[in-house]
């Protein structure tokens, strides 16, 4: 048998299959022939080097990808070569996607689609190609495969890939445990008033509006990382909106309902219970968009109920929507309107929570999908308990009309920021008419609300503003409590000296200073300056008109999608 010599071509199967794939990629619009030729030449040079290294003629580069970190991948020559070739193929496909001469949105979509394919095609995802899973199966006499099949069947029954041990958590028992009472409810939300933890509370209460596409207890996971408990312990009288998980009875509700019967009604009840005309307000993610819209509606009616506004990872200017932008165009929005909106043939429908949850998981597929496919099914491992992932899997539905309005007027047409462009609850909107100081927070690595996009709210709102950027992503950046005494700080945050907020976010960042630890104390000090003088803490929740209905966290948050 003839032996291969250095610089021999790849084995026919690998070389031919990838060459065909590259040809298909070349059919994408406007890839420069010169660029394509350069990529092909570079690919063949690297692939040949890998093949020669597999024959002992050279050294293959080190693999840092954690999917292939187990020693079994390196110990098996075939698996090692397959890993190196897979990573090279993935890099080359992404380079080709980046070389497409098209508009930014088209290029982003191509890159996203290619990355989804590359991640799904990883040899680690297949038992026949995963030496680590194979060794576990042999060492356990097939027990890991048996457990994997049991895990798979359990997930089929649940309708999603398990990311944590869901039996380890129960809302109200070991998540969402801060003491409080439901003091108001309607068909959209329950309002929670939390029991004070201090003898005195600040006069002006704090109303928190969380996102309606998730459940509120991301702000109250455990006592040690609960922003709600932290705010209560800081002497605030805290009210929180707990959105209903919509069912068929409310599938007709629209954006105006979420503003009038949601945010505005919550503001009015908090005012009445506290006896304060002006209250502090906080909105998180979509909750911030809803809150700002509600305050703009009230401003159009001559009301200014907010003593302060805090916006956490919130979009008001949707010019840069991060990775979610690739899903939104005129055709996709029309499809949603035709199937979910008020004029669809079947009438308004629900957008089911599992669809949203799956979409968000595939924004980070290796971390939130394939990692668990490999662990749960190929290795037969039970995912460990993790409160944040339990919350992440506790999905919520949305009424189709509300969702369709939101998609069209914000993500697609970016009209919310334009004064007078939109009419909501019968009023022409102008976010600049909100008369209140604003604390705006963005997370540096947020892929859902990029910090540049969060920063742009500083150019829309007219009150005195403070912008703070935290480390990490959309959730971990927000849920970043101060460390316990003697413990190191986990993450950092950036604050710029002075009140200047230039139009260019990078200009702000150049003037900002990084500070170790949580941004929560900075926000708490800012909030205290707008909270009024302390007064004795209330002895009971609610008042004569709004009495306690049931203990927190209430019924609404426990309803599964």
Residue written as token pair 């927000």: 478
List alpha helices for 71-210, DSSP H.
71-75, 77-99, 104-120, 131-139, 143-158
* Axis crossing angle, helix 77-99 with helix 104-120, rounded to the nearest 10: 170
Instruction: Tell the residue number behind the tokens 């021999």, with chain if given.
Output: 8
Residue ranges of alpha helices (H) inside 278-324 are 286-300
For 168, counting Cβ atoms within 10 Å of its Cβ (0-12 exposed, 13-18 middle, 19+ buried), the class is middle
425 is catalytic: no
Strand partners, 469: 442, 494
Could you write out the three-class secondary structure of 356-402?
HHHHHHCCCHHHHHHHHHHHHHHCCCCCCCCHHHHHHHCCCCEEHHH
Terminal Cα distance for the chain, rounded? 63
DSSP letter string, 506-553: HHHHHHEEEEES-SHHHHHHHHHTTS--EEEPPSSSS-SSS---EETT
Please state, in angstroms and rounded to a whole number, the distance separating the CA atoms of residues 327 and 321.
10
Structure tokens belonging to residue 300: 């159009």
Q: Quick check: 400 and 351 in contact, CB under 8 A?
A: yes
DSSP state of 489: P
Helix 143-158 to helix 131-139 angle (10° resolution) is 110
Please name the residue that has the structure tokens 């040079």. 45
Query: CA quadruple 474, 154, 249, 404: dihedral positive or negative?
Result: positive
Residue 308: strand pairing partners: 280
Catalytic residue, candidates 212, 285, 404, 425: 285
Give the separation between CA 110 and CA 96, rounded to whole angstroms: 10
Backbone angles phi, psi at 386, to 5 degrees: -150, 115
- Cβ contact 123:129 at 8 Å: yes
> Would you please indicate which residues are annotated as catalytic (active-site) residues?
285
């Amino acid at each position: 048998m003839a032996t291969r010599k250095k610089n021999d071509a790849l084995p026919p199967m690998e070389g031919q299959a990838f060459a065909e794939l590259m040809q298909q990629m070349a059919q994408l619009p406007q890839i420069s022939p010169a660029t394509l030729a350069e990529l092909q030449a570079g690919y063949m040079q690297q692939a040949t080097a890998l093949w020669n290294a597999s024959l002992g003629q050279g050294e293959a580069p080190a693999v840092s990808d954690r999917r292939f970190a187990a020693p079994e991948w390196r110990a098996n020559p075939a698996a090692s070569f397959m890993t190196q070739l897979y990573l090279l193929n993935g890099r080359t496909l992404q380079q080709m996607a980046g070389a497409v001469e098209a508009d930014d949105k088209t290029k982003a979509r191509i890159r996203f689609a290619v990355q989804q394919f590359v991640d799904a095609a990883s040899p680690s995802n297949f038992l026949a190609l995963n030496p680590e899973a194979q060794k576990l199966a042999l060492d356990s006499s097939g027990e890991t495969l048996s457990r994997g099949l049991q895990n798979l069947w359990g997930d089929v029954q649940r309708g999603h890939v398990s990311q944590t041990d869901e039996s380890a958590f129960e809302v109200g028992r070991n998540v969402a445990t801060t003491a409080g009472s439901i003091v108001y409810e309607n068909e959209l939300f329950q309002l929670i008033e939390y029991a004070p933890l201090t003898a005195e509370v600040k006069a002006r209460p704090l109303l928190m509006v969380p996102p309606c596409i998730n459940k509120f207890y991301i702000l109250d996971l455990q006592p040690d990382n609960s922003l709600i408990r932290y705010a209560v312990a800081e002497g605030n009288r805290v009210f929180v909106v707990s959105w209903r998980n919509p069912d068929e009875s409310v599938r007709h509700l629209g954006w105006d309902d979420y503003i009038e019967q949601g945010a505005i009604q919550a503001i009015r009840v908090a005012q009445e219970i506290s006896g304060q005309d002006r209250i502090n307000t906080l909105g998180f993610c979509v909750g911030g968009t809803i809150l700002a819209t509600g305050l703009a509606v009230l401003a159009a009616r001559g009301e200014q109920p907010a003593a302060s506004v805090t916006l956490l990872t919130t979009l008001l200017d949707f010019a840069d929507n991060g990775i979610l932008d690739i899903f939104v165009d005129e055709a996709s929005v029309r499809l949603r309107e035709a199937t979910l909106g008020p004029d669809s043939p079947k009438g308004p429908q629900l957008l089911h929570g599992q669809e949203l949850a799956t979409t968000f998981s595939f924004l980070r597929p290796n971390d939130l999908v394939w990692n668990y496919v490999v662990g749960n099914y190929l290795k037969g491992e039970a995912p460990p308990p993790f409160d944040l992932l339990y919350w992440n899997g506790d999905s919520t539905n949305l009424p189709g009309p509300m969702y369709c309005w939101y998609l069209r007027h914000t993500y697609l047409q970016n009209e919310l920021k334009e004064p007078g462009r939109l009419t909501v609850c019968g009023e022409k909107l102008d976010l600049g008419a909100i008369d209140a100081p604003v604390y705006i927070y963005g997370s540096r690595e947020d892929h859902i609300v990029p910090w540049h996009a969060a920063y742009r709210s500083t150019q829309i709102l007219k009150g005195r503003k403070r912008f703070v950027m935290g480390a990490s992503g959309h959730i971990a950046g927000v849920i970043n409590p101060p460390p316990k005494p003697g413990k190191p700080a986990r993450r950092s945050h950036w604050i710029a000296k002075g009140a200047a907020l230039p139009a260019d976010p990078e200009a702000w960042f150049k003037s900002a200073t990084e500070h170790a630890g949580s941004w929560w104390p900075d926000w708490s000090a800012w909030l205290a300056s707008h909270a009024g003088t302390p007064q004795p803490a209330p002895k009971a929740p609610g008042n004569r008109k709004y009495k306690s209905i049931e203990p927190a966290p209430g019924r609404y948050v426990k309803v599964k999608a």
